[in-house]
Amino acid sequence: MDTPKIFESEYRFCLLLWENEPIKSGDLAKLCAEKLEWKKSTTYTVLKRLAERGVLKNEDSVVTSLVSREEVQCAESREFIDRTFGGSLPGFIAAFVGNKQLSAEEADEIRRMIDGYKGD
């Protein structure tokens, strides 16, 4: 199953959920009012929308996520690279690094990551 698309305001909502789950929907509404300055109705609208898209579930007024922060970040990163760089990871890295010099530690970390993903 593909990770559902999560828009910016929904992502901020999900950050609160991931940090506090499982959480009662009423407590989540209070948290959203405090952190996001949302009305209760806004929170419940977003809850319903994300539940319909399979991002979370709200059972017996307890909200839990069905997708992780990492899954969402990976999906968003892939979509961005596909859309902006034609799917070219080297193109993305070149643009991201730009004129910035990588430290030896950063270069080593990237090299380890690449080596960890290479097939033998």
- Position 65 in a domain: yes
pLDDT score, position 1: 61
> Hey, what are 24's tokens?
């009662």
pTM value?
0.77
Q: For the chain, what is the radius of gyration of the CA atoms?
A: 18
pLDDT over 70 for what percent of the chain?
Answer: 98
Asked if pLDDT for residue 119 goes beyond 80, the answer is no
Domain count, the chain: 2
* pLDDT tens for each residue of 84-95: 999 998 888 888
The mean pLDDT value of the chain amounts to: 91
Which contiguous run of DSSP H or E holds residue 58?
Answer: strand 56-59
pLDDT score, position 73: 92
Residue 44 belongs to domain spanning: 8-69
Whether residues 65 and 21 share a domain: the answer is yes
